[in-house]
Amino acid sequence: MDFFTHLVFGGLTYILFLKEVTFEYIILAMFFAVLPDLDIFIMPLKKIFKSNYLNHRGGSHSYITGVIISFIASIIISILTPRPFLFNWFIGIFFYGLHVSMDLLTTTKIPYLYPLSKKELSFYVEKAGSQFTMLNSVILLFMLTSLYNASVTFYTFMAVINFYTFFYIVYYLIRIASKLLISSKLNENQKYFPGVLPFYFIIYEYEIAGNEISLGLFKKSLFSKTVIIYKDKSFLSSQEMIFFQKGIELCSENYYFAKWTLLPIFIRSDGKFAIRFFFLEPMMHGRAMNIQFEFDILTQQLIRIKRSYGRIQ
């Protein structure tokens, strides 16, 4: 989920639950609501400590990490300001945890209990970095800034906030209901992916039977017909199956690629066999990041690796 949406959710959640207590801590709450994404500033340390958990959406995106970091931050805040430590810590735990919870709804797995557990999880309710929620969050921030500068009445200001709070609640209820409803009807060879808009979704069908690989990627809606994004059936030789398995192993060695779902496309040319793996989680409008591994059939060696972005075909 993007920075602006986390910022907006922090503010709206604070107003929804704590406005009757005090408005004094809303800035602190919004700070903790975006704090996990500041892990981008510690990513260079990965080269020193050789840990994948220093990546973005790594060890910082954990409820346990949130408890520890908010504890340290609350001590510092209590020393520098007259604000009580326990309430600072409560704000920190709650809004840091809100960030982790919102990211659990997306399509990119996070180690939500690190360092107690390295298990990673995601619920596939919303696209990671959704353009739809980011656009609405930016619009809300712009509107509130404009209304504040125009010195509108408090009731007008709160009416806009209440409208957007209701909008986001309904939006995510639709997203969650759609995910639960559609997923309950899928078999073990199918996987649900949320679309850009709440009523759209993608179904990926993947089946291996011996040396036969069947693939299907379909765009669906609650109100319209199915659109085929990609559909294919491939028959691989024994050697090509070995290359295919090697490609999967190479993808699993990358921290991010290992999190994502692979759609393989096979390319044969003069003494070479290539597998182009498309990553479905960041897919947008039938286009996705991909990595291609090219093998020499005679020597059975990997001779080329190419990364790109393009249409799934």
Q: Quick one: 205 exposed, middle or buried, by C-beta within 10 A (0-12, 13-18, 19+)?
A: middle
Name 88's Cβ contacts closer than 8 Å, sequence gap at least 6.
25, 28, 70, 73, 74, 77, 78
Same domain, 137 and 246: no
Length of the chain: 313
pLDDT digit string, tens, across residues 71-108 = 999 999 999 988 899 999 999 999 999 999 999 999 98
Same domain, 274 and 242: yes
Same domain, 137 and 47: yes
Whole-number pLDDT of residue 22: 73
pLDDT digit string, tens, across residues 256-296 = 888 899 999 999 998 999 999 999 998 988 899 999 999 99
Whole-number pLDDT of residue 127: 87
With a pLDDT cut of 70, the percent of the chain lying above it is 99
Same domain, 29 and 171: yes
Q: Pick from 132, 158, 182: which residue ends a domain? A: 182
Domain count, the chain: 2
Please, which pLDDT band fits residue 21 given cuts at 50, 70 and 90?
A: low
Same domain, 208 and 301: yes
Same domain, 249 and 127: no
Same domain, 147 and 216: no
Q: Are 97 and 66 in contact (CB under 8 A)?
A: yes
Range of the domain at 196: 190-311
pLDDT higher than 70, residue 20: no
SS percent in the chain: helix, strand, coil, step 5:
45, 25, 30
Average per-residue pLDDT for the chain: 91
Same domain, 162 and 39: yes
pLDDT digit string, tens, across residues 113-142 = 999 999 999 999 998 878 889 999 999 999
Q: Are 272 and 295 in contact (CB under 8 A)?
A: yes
Q: Pick from 182, 216, 249: which residue ends a domain? A: 182
The DSSP call for residue 275 is E
Same domain, 139 and 262: no
> How many angstroms separate the CA atoms of 120 and 258, rounded?
11
Same domain, 42 and 88: yes
Q: Pick from 182, 207, 228: which residue ends a domain? A: 182
Please, which pLDDT band fits residue 44 given cuts at 50, 70 and 90?
A: confident
> How many angstroms separate the CA atoms of 110 and 156, rounded?
39
Whole-number pLDDT of residue 169: 93
pTM of the model: 0.90
Same domain, 95 and 224: no
Same domain, 22 and 166: yes
